[in-house]
Amino acid sequence: MSAEMKRKLKKTVLLAVKIAVGCGIAIYIAEALELEYAVSAGTVTLLSLLGTKWETVKFSLVRLGTFFLTVMLIFLIMPRMHSEWIAYGVIVFLLVFLTNLMGWRATLSVNAIITAHYMTRQDFAPAFLFNEFMLVFIGVVIAIVLNLFHLNKSQKKDLMEGIRYVETAMQADLREVAGYLMGEQMKEQRSRSVWVDITLLEGKLRELMEEAREYQDNTFESHHDYYLDYFEMRLDQCRMLDSLHYEMRKMRSMPKQARVIADYIRYLADYVVEKNVPEKQMVRLNEIFAEMEKEELPESREEFESRALLYHILMDLEEFLKYKRAFVEGLGERQRKEYWE
């Protein structure tokens, strides 16, 4: 079994355990308090646990708020309509409309359950209102408590491994691009290989960004956006590699300056690491810009076009470095201490 499959299996097992335990505890508490429809407390827990820690807290509070909105609609509409199913339909219509409007659609299912209870009992006394409120309250409290337990250490380790994977892959892509620029053997085959490798890396980065976003939402500390920012930066760099490679494919001949740029790309590949501040690489790139400006003018149209494309490649490399520099400059003091020192 692959490491990715093991990781998904662990997350799935933990979620299943939390839902099973949470639903059972919620129903037990509701029955101990002699609440009617006690099983609904378990349903509320289940629906509240399907998310990250922050999502659970946020939507648990929203569930409690929309509970009173639901009760208000029930008290206004249900006693005034002779047909129960029409009353239910009108209330659900208004709930869907209002919750969608406010971005609270995730609370709809619980509110529909509360509406069904009222439709069944036709009891508008304060005691039954308290009964329904307690079902929701028990469900969301159990969900909040259980969602404090996450595989954060394991997930952090996976993200750090993801950083190493991305760096190794991007270094390899840069070296492949340099080889293509040098006009090495099997150019067309190498071109297809570079294109595929860059596309695969972009896909991996999007997966890692989702993992980082989940990790960030499952912690209560603000500095954990480091991983998400890091992978977003690498994705931007990956797009620059894509652009750079596209410029290379349009070149019909390789002028002598291509070797200088290829050597620079190979040099740059060694510095695609997490803790590098790319100042030295920027200085060396500016030196290449200055050297190219001193070159004699091209003698043919083909050489002119190729030199122009080389200049675009240098600009892409400059953007590639600027993304990393912006990421480094955006790090707070706490992030530097936590992740770099």
Residue owning tokens 């929309």:
66
Phi/psi of residue 314, nearest 5 degrees? -60, -40
Q: Pull the structure tokens for residue 145.
A: 């408590």
For residue 168, pLDDT beyond 90:
yes
Per-residue model confidence (pLDDT) at position 177:
85
Q: Does pLDDT of 189 surpass 50?
A: no
Mean pLDDT, range 218-222, rounded to an integer:
65
Output the pLDDT for position 246. 76
Three-state secondary structure call for residue 198: helix
Mean pLDDT of 271-281: 93
334 φ/ψ angles, rounded to the nearest 5 degrees: -65, -40
pLDDT at 192 over 50: yes
The mean of the pLDDT values for the chain is 84
Tokens linked to 2: 């692959």
pLDDT at 163 over 80: yes
In this prediction, residue 264 has a pLDDT band, given cuts at 50, 70 and 90, of very high
Q: Coil, strand or helix: which one is 202?
A: helix
Residue 194 pLDDT class (50, 70, 90 cuts):
confident
**pLDDT score of 316 more than 80:** yes
Decide if pLDDT at 186 tops 70: no
Please state the rounded mean pLDDT for residues 220-249: 83
Question: Can you give the pTM of this predicted structure?
Answer: 0.71
* Calpha distance 173→109 (Å, rounded): 48
C-alpha 205/C-alpha 323 separation (Å) is 15
As given in the structure block, the two tokens for residue 178 are 């340099």
